Amino acid sequence: MLLEVKNLGVYYYTLSGVVRGAENVSFSVREGEWITFVGESGSGKSTVAHAVINLVPSPGKIVTGEVLFQGKNLLAMKPEELRKIRGKDISMVFQDPMTSLDPLRKVGDQIVEAMRVHGVDDDEARQRAKEILEKVNLPADRLDYYPHQLSGGQRQRISIAIAMAFNPKLLIADEPTTALDVIVQDAIMDLIDEMKDEGTSIYFVTHDISLAAERSDRIAVMYAGELVEIGTTEQIIENPLHPYTRALVESVPDLWKESEVRAIPGYPPDLRNPPSGCRFHPRCPIFKEKAELKGRCDVRGPETLEVEPGHFVACHLYGGA
Amino acid sequence: MRIIDFLIKPLRERKPGRGLLVFGVIVVLTVVAMAILAPFISPYNPTQIGEDIFAPPSLKHPMGTNNLGQDVFSRIIWGSRIILYVVAVATTLSIAIGVPLGLLSGYYGGKTDRTLSMIMDSIYSFPSLILAIVIAVVLGPSPINTAVAISFVYVPTYFRMVRGQTLSLKGQLFVEAARAIGTKSSEIMRKYILPNVLPTILVVFTLSVADAILTEAGLSFLGLSVTPPTPDWGYDLHVGQPFLLDGYWWLAFFPGIMIMLLAMGFAMIGEAINERLSLGTR
Amino acid sequence: MSEPLLKVRELKKYFPVKRSLLEAFRKKEERYVRAVDGISFDIRKGETLALIGESGCGKTTAGRTILRLIEPTEGEIIFDGTDVTQLSQDELRPFRKRMQIIFQDPYSSLSPRMRIGDAIAHPLLVHGLAEKDEAKEIALKMLRRVGLTPEDEFYDRYPHHLSGGQRQRVVIARAMVLKPEFIVADEAVSMIDVSMRASILELLESFKEEYNLSQLFITHDIAVGKLIADRIAVMYLGKIVEMGPIREVLRNPAHPYTMALIQAVPSIVRRKKEKKLRITGEVPNAAEIPPGCRFHPRCPFADELCRGDEPELVEVSHGHFVACHHPLH
């Protein structure tokens, strides 16, 4: 197991109250696999991705849990040790590359700098920078550009180039294509796919379940700060167990699917004051239908159960009484 | 109604800046109360010349008496009327001129905007006190003239702020949406842009009031505002200042501290509102 | 077939590019961003046309120009027999009632200091369709109709109390309160959370049926287009490159760009291996439109003809138009 996350919880201490950004999140990432976290905004998918590398933005705090990377707890590490792992063994790509690139420095210098931090000397770093730029299909002269001279797609290629520099064991990609057009998105996804082919595990985060379905080995579904279902892509798409996952799969328009699109009623909850019991129950169609679920779903949070091999779900419909 | 709510609510909420706000509101309200209730709470006639000159603070004269034997406490109380009156007239005038001009200038742009901006910028680039002095000298000493002089100095502050905000609001989708439903320009400015500028006007208002208080005090210190024996903080400060060296500190001390407190009070309200607003946008 | 409600003919919108001081001295010719560069289409009563394209293709400018929120450079916009490009802003006002717009960003399309009920009632007052009390009644009904209940509670709220999905419902209510005949929906769901997109689309659809609305549905997401549109027009760098009935175009795209666009869309039922027509590069800057066919630098099939000659939009099958020298079928 490359990465094991156990019982992770992250709270945001805002002026208007404590936002329970993520709670009871446990999962693992295997060597060489592509796992995708799906959820809407506020579901905690991004929070968890940041917590894994101990980079939760203020006013967020990791309140429970541990993150074992190759057996070592990242959350208990000294900043110095963690820094050595970040960028080398674990790389990150974010939605807006403009925020992770320094606007005042040429991209080439930034790639070199990223390598220098981890002890590569300048000449070698220059050489390697050229090579990886080629790998992400950018002409070598782009090294002399400033970030603002590049398009969003090109900037994202640069940040992937930086992420690739050390052949990391794990790439965490948080909505890297959300701001991009589909054709460019597809090209960026191809690049990430290439990284996977070279042995990097991919931890991908997106709101788009179609994007998740297309390339991942496994999918994890988050709702209102909790992990509600996790399984292989086939299990999640063809046999979704959690009512939310099912609704999500049915609600996305798809070019190659003929079935009707069905809307999910209601709105996601306010995480300062989440619903009691299962957080999805106020929107859950099955809870509304079945009277016998009253007193269960709205009172007690569900346990996570392995319903079929490798397919986990947190829902009262499974696991008997 | 909504504005009042906007002012009251923050006093109750435990949010950053509450201390500042509470302090500011207390100081300002006290001075306002002093001005309104002056005839009832003032122990003496403020212009009454007495025999008891340079009496130190005592129970009889809480802030002592001055070189003419006038009760300093009474003069402080009555003096609040002048300063508040001048500052109120001055800020009302500058808002009444600066805000509409800023709105029009920012919304329509073009030549008018460029001309207006140039005029306002050139006024703004003068040192405000010197400009006010020049105008006050030209108009002659009287409270209303002082108010006009001060308002002239602060028109550009409002104008620039409102114009800038209007420019950025004009590009917002909700203004475009208002155009799409067929709203007339005048109504767009009134119903869609102005309400969104109001909170900032409030901040600029409180901060510029603080500044205007100091300007007013400065002008009357120079004898450009009221004619004696009208009680006035700035003027009293001026009169009391030579006696500081003789040990009669209370003549200058009380007017001075009042000017400072009032200016600080408004400045703190402004700070607090500003902080609150920037919280809201986060 | 009924007469189209909206006819757009050779519509152009050029934005001047600011010259540097040096360029102005050298009397360098003024350059333009040709955001919309001559587009023509019809929308019939009750029909939805999806205008599809990547960012920077000019689709948003096109939508706003049609409503004259941006002044067109050239071309005709004939709405119900009247060329609205010839009208003054005052003469335009009655037409504003009949054509409305829904913006992409529900966060900035509502005034932060206006109660949402007032925002919905205001259009009625602007057009003198109701007195204050009556307008409030209608706004309350509208709130209920778009699912914001209890409506009297929602009436008094300010936008910042609402989620993105709820705001977009307010925006839709505001547009629909005038009972328009034509709507421009500019990326109306792309900023809405996935779980709520479908319900917003359903809401639009229900209004469409109730008012027999004609829609120009601008989107970058073909899958959304497929869901709601009757016809589709694909835009690339200011021009329509392909247009036709939506199913026909999706099944048999004739333009290589349309093909690439369709294939790049992720799907939950199709694995990536089953793709694809490779196109390279990114959309060029609209200030430097390539000569000949605008798509040729990225097109795998481009030849001499494409580099020199700009293709016209021609009909390849019934109602299916394409602007390509080498259509795929």
Distance from CA of A119 to the nearest CA of C (A): 34
CB-CB neighbors (< 8 A) of A214 in chain C: 266-268, 270-272
Q: Do C184 and C18 touch, CB atoms closer than 8 A?
A: no
Asked whether the beta carbons of residue C101 and residue B180 sit closer than 8 angstroms, the reply is yes
> Does the pTM of the predicted model rise above 0.90?
no
What secondary structure letter does DSSP report for B65?
B
Q: Do A209 and A252 touch, CB atoms closer than 8 A?
A: yes
Cα C101–chain centre separation: 9
Nearest residue on chain B to C110, alpha-carbon basis: B174
Distance from CA of B153 to the nearest CA of C (A): 30
Please check whether residue A197 touches C, CB under 8 A.
no
pLDDT for A120 equals: 84
The structure tokens listed for C233 are: 């027009």
The DSSP result for A88-127, as a single string, is TTEEEE-S-HHHHS-TTS-HHHHHHHHHHHTT--HHHHHH
Which residues of chain C fall short of a pLDDT of 50? none
Asked whether the beta carbons of residue C109 and residue B173 sit closer than 8 angstroms, the reply is yes
- As a whole number of angstroms, the distance between CA C48 and CA C217 comes to 7
Please check whether residue A237 touches C, CB under 8 A.
yes
* Residues of chain A contacting B, Cβ within 8 Å: 15
Q: Do A38 and A248 touch, CB atoms closer than 8 A?
A: yes
List the domain boundaries for chain A: 3-89+166-314, 99-165
| A-B Cβ pairs (cutoff 8 Å, strict) | 3
Distance from CA of C82 to the nearest CA of B (A): 18
Please check whether residue B9 touches A, CB under 8 A.
no
CB-CB neighbors (< 8 A) of B171 in chain C: none
User: What's domain A3-89+166-314's superfamily in CATH?
Assistant: P-loop containing nucleotide triphosphate hydrolases (3.40.50.300)
Distance from CA of B12 to the nearest CA of A (A): 14
pLDDT, one tens digit per residue, over B54-100 is: 888 888 888 888 888 888 899 999 989 988 999 999 999 999 999 99
List the domain boundaries for chain B: 2-46+61-281
Please check whether residue C201 touches A, CB under 8 A.
yes
Distance from CA of B258 to the nearest CA of A (A): 35
Residues 6+ apart with CB under 8 A from B54: B64, B65, B66, B67, B243, B248, B251
pLDDT, one tens digit per residue, over A292-318 is: 888 899 999 999 999 999 999 999 999
Distance from CA of C278 to the nearest CA of A (A): 9
Q: What is the mean pLDDT of residues A9-29?
A: 92
Asked whether the beta carbons of residue A210 and residue C226 sit closer than 8 angstroms, the reply is no
CB-CB neighbors (< 8 A) of B172 in chain C: 108
Domains by residue range for chain C, with CATH: 43-72+80-229 (3.40.50.300), 252-329 (no CATH)
Residue B234, helix vs strand vs coil: helix
Please check whether residue C199 touches A, CB under 8 A.
yes
Arithmetic mean of pLDDT over chain B: 86
Task: Output A10 or B23, whichever has higher pLDDT.
Answer: A10
CB-CB neighbors (< 8 A) of A15 in chain B: 15-16, 279
Q: Which chains touch A (3 or more CB pairs under 8 A)?
A: B, C
Asked whether the beta carbons of residue C265 and residue A255 sit closer than 8 angstroms, the reply is yes
Task: Output B179 or B246, whichever has higher pLDDT.
Answer: B179
Please check whether residue B15 touches A, CB under 8 A.
yes
Residue C13, helix vs strand vs coil: strand
Mutation test of the interface with chain C: which of B165, B166, B170, B174, choosing the one with the most C Cβ atoms within 10 A?
Answer: B174
pLDDT category at B281 given cuts 50, 70, 90 is very low
pLDDT, one tens digit per residue, over A97-130 is: 777 788 888 888 888 888 888 888 888 888 888 8
Asked whether the beta carbons of residue B173 and residue C105 sit closer than 8 angstroms, the reply is yes
Distance from CA of A183 to the nearest CA of C (A): 5
**Start-end of H helices in B42-142:** 72-108, 110-125, 128-139
Asked whether the beta carbons of residue A154 and residue C196 sit closer than 8 angstroms, the reply is no
pLDDT for B60 equals: 84
Q: Which chains touch C (3 or more CB pairs under 8 A)?
A: A, B
Compute the C-alpha angle B174/B177/B183, nearest 5°: 110
- As a whole number of angstroms, the distance between CA C313 and CA C325 comes to 10
Asked whether the beta carbons of residue C195 and residue A193 sit closer than 8 angstroms, the reply is no
**Start-end of H helices in C194-245:** 194-211, 222-228
Residue pointed to by tokens 């021609």: C314
pLDDT, one tens digit per residue, over A253-297 is: 888 888 788 888 888 898 999 999 999 999 999 999 988 888 899
Residue pointed to by tokens 């590490």: A77
Nearest neighbour of C126 by CB, restricted to B173, B183, B195: B183
Distance from CA of B14 to the nearest CA of A (A): 9
pLDDT for C275 equals: 61
Please report, as a single letter, which amino acid is at residue B11: L
Lowest average pLDDT, out of A215-224, B14-23, C66-75, goes to: B14-23
Is it the case that residue B3 has pLDDT exceeding 60?
no
Arithmetic mean of pLDDT over chain A: 90
The DSSP result for A198-239, as a single string, is TT-EEEEEES-HHHHHHH-SEEEEEETTEEEEEEEHHHHHHS
pLDDT for A315 equals: 95
* Closest alpha carbon to B259 in B218, B198, B225, B224: B218
* Closest alpha carbon to B232 in B215, B217, B211, B252: B217
Distance from CA of A16 to the nearest CA of B (A): 9
CA A285, A286, A287, A291 dihedral sign is positive
Nearest residue on chain A to C226, alpha-carbon basis: A255
Mutation test of the interface with chain B: which of A15, A16, A19, A58, choosing the one with the most B Cβ atoms within 10 A?
Answer: A15
- As a whole number of angstroms, the distance between CA A92 and CA A53 comes to 9
CB-CB neighbors (< 8 A) of B182 in chain C: 92-93, 96-97, 123, 126-127
* Closest alpha carbon to A263 in A293, A282, A281, A283: A283
Distance from CA of C97 to the nearest CA of B (A): 6
Nearest neighbour of C272 by CB, restricted to A40, A214, A261: A214
CB-CB neighbors (< 8 A) of B16 in chain A: 15
Asked whether the beta carbons of residue C193 and residue A40 sit closer than 8 angstroms, the reply is yes
Nearest neighbour of A267 by CB, restricted to C166, C262, C283: C166
* Residues of chain B contacting C, Cβ within 8 Å: 172-174, 176-184, 187, 191-192, 195-196, 198, 280
ipTM: 0.87
Q: What is the CATH number of domain B2-46+61-281?
A: 1.10.3720.10
Q: Do A34 and A204 touch, CB atoms closer than 8 A?
A: yes
pLDDT for C75 equals: 96
Nearest residue on chain A to C228, alpha-carbon basis: A253
pLDDT for A302 equals: 93
DSSP-derived pairing of the beta strands C231-236 and C239-245: antiparallel
Q: What is the mean pLDDT of residues B149-170?
A: 92
Residues written for chain C? 329
Nearest residue on chain C to A138, alpha-carbon basis: C281
